[in-house]
Amino acid sequence: MAWLHRLLPEAASSLAPGVDAVFSLIFWMSLFWFVVIQGVLIFFVLRYRKNRTRYPAFHSVALEVFWTLVPTFLVMVLFVYGWRQFRNLRYAPSDALEIHVTGRQWLWQFTYPDGRTTLNDLVVPLNRDVQIVMKSADVLHSFFVPAFRVKQDLLPDRYTRLWFRATRADTFEIYCAEYCGTGHSRMLGRVIVLPEDAYETWKNRGEGGTASTKRVDPVERGRQVYETRGCKACHSIDGSRGVAPSFLGLYGHSVELEGGETVLADENYLRESILDPQRKVVKGFQPVMPPFQGVLSEEEVDAVIAFIRSLGTEEGE
Ligand code: HEC
Ligand SMILES: [Cu+2]
């Protein structure tokens, strides 16, 4: 149905056809039932408009069962079909290129794996899986690329993710889809999708059509934080256990806590453990770590997390 697709923005990611299929299914189902129900309604109005006493209300168990089971079945179909698509949206392929985004009033700041940053322009390679790790520096924002059919809120103090694989080399709009203050409507960005070789050139030359490109390797920066902000005194990076657990192989592993719970050591856990260590205390250790809330800057927290991640995820495996 070409005209229906013209109602939607162009589809430019590997996820878009699936999302559009869900949309179309819901659309056609709704249209079908709208016509059926309105048709019956109009028919009844015309057919039974006189002498209502001749047609007393009656109860039919068969009819009740029919119009309970059919909608239930249809809703389950929508659920299963939609949920499978949602799962695709939710779980990024594990080898996706990771780009960090900070939303702030009122701009987008992107940080690439090599530490380069750009403002409002997100440069990605064509046909590569890209995972966006997001957080907000102030209020709620929402990262929305209509052409890719992806949208995700950004929160202060928490990392959220989305992923996509761009399938057309072109420029697409990024909107903020969560009202975030007077500059909200001007919080616009662009995704610039480059073919692999042009992307490599951009990466090596530092060109991207943006004035502000600077380079700080986050892992190196994180090592500095580790060495100069006190972490080193308690945490080793070689697997040896001191007053505190080692950072080696921490990321991506499950951690046993005092009280018997286990948590997965992802970015959100690391962040919380750094800013507010008493919230979740690792089993077998004393709660002696000072909270770093207000001590480390946002940039230092991100960097030290990148450093911890770089120490590997597969200790002894
Ligand atoms: C005074 C010693 C001390 C210092 C300094 C310290 N920590 Fe800790 N840290 C601990 C202890 C003890 C634990 C385990 C108990 C707990 O979870 O609070 C811990 C736990 C952690 C955890 C969770 C580890 C796990 O295995 O789940 C992270 C992440 C962490 N610290 C990061 C840091 C960072 C980053 C710094 C420097 C900015 C730092 N720590 C500085 C003592 C310290
Ligand atoms: Cu916003």
Return the best residue to mutate from 221, 232, 235, 251 for the ligand 1 pocket (most ligand atoms within 8 A of CB).
Answer: 235
Cβ of 161 less than 6 Å from ligand 1 = no
Q: Which helix (H) or strand (E) holds 66?
A: helix 61-90
Query: How is residue 310 annotated by DSSP?
Result: H
pLDDT of residue 212: 45
Residue 278 within a domain: yes
Distance of CA 3 to the CA centre of its chain: 30
pLDDT of residue 1: 56
7 and 84 assigned to the same domain: yes
Name the closest-CA residue to atom 6, ligand 1.
231
101 belongs to a structural domain: yes
- Residue 229 and residue 297 in one domain: yes
Give every residue of the chain whose pLDDT is below 50, as ranges: 207-213, 315-317
Identify whether residues 105 and 10 lie together within a single domain.
no
pLDDT at 115: 79
Q: Would the CB of 234 count as within 6 Å of ligand 1?
A: yes
- Which ligand is nearest the CA of 140, by number? 2
Q: How high is the pLDDT of residue 122? A: 93
Domain that holds residue 40: 2-47+59-90
Rounded Cα distance, 39 and 36, in Å = 5
Say if residue 211 is in the same domain as residue 111.
yes
Phi/psi for 122 (5° steps) reads -105, 115
The count of structural domains within the chain is 3
pLDDT at 166: 94
* 30 domain residue, yes or no: yes
Is residue 267 in some structural domain? yes
- Nearest protein Cα to ligand 1, atom 39: 231
Query: Taking the CA of residue 88 as centre, how many other CA atoms within 13 Å lie in the half-sphere pointing to its CB?
Result: 18
172, 197, 215: which is the final residue of a domain? 215
Does the residue 109 lie in any domain? yes
Q: Is the same domain home to 84 and 168?
A: no
CA of 144 to the centre of ligand 1 (A): 35
Same domain, 261 and 204: no
The CATH number covering residue 162 comes to 2.60.40.420
**Does 295 map to a domain?**
yes
Distance CA 48, CA 46 (A): 6
Is 207 within a domain? Answer: yes
Tell me phi and psi for residue 297, to 5 degrees: -80, 165
Query: The pTM is what?
Result: 0.68
Q: Taking the CA atoms of 222, 227, 230 and 234 in sequence, report the sign of the dihedral they define.
A: positive
Q: pLDDT tens, 180-233?
A: 988 898 889 999 999 998 888 888 775 444 444 456 778 888 898 898 887 887
Ligand 1 center from residue 293 Cα (angstroms):
13
**Structure tokens, 203:** 């990466």
pLDDT of amino acid 209? 45
pLDDT at residue 204 in the model = 79
Same domain, 293 and 187: no
Q: Looking at the structure, do residues 105 and 209 belong to the same domain, yes or no? A: yes
Is residue 53 situated within a structural domain?
A: no
Residues 9, 76: one domain? yes
248 in the same domain as 144: no
Give the distance (Å) from ligand 1 centre to CA of residue 235. 7
Instruction: For tokens 């770590």, name the residue.
Output: 289
C-alpha 262 to ligand 2 mean position (Å): 35
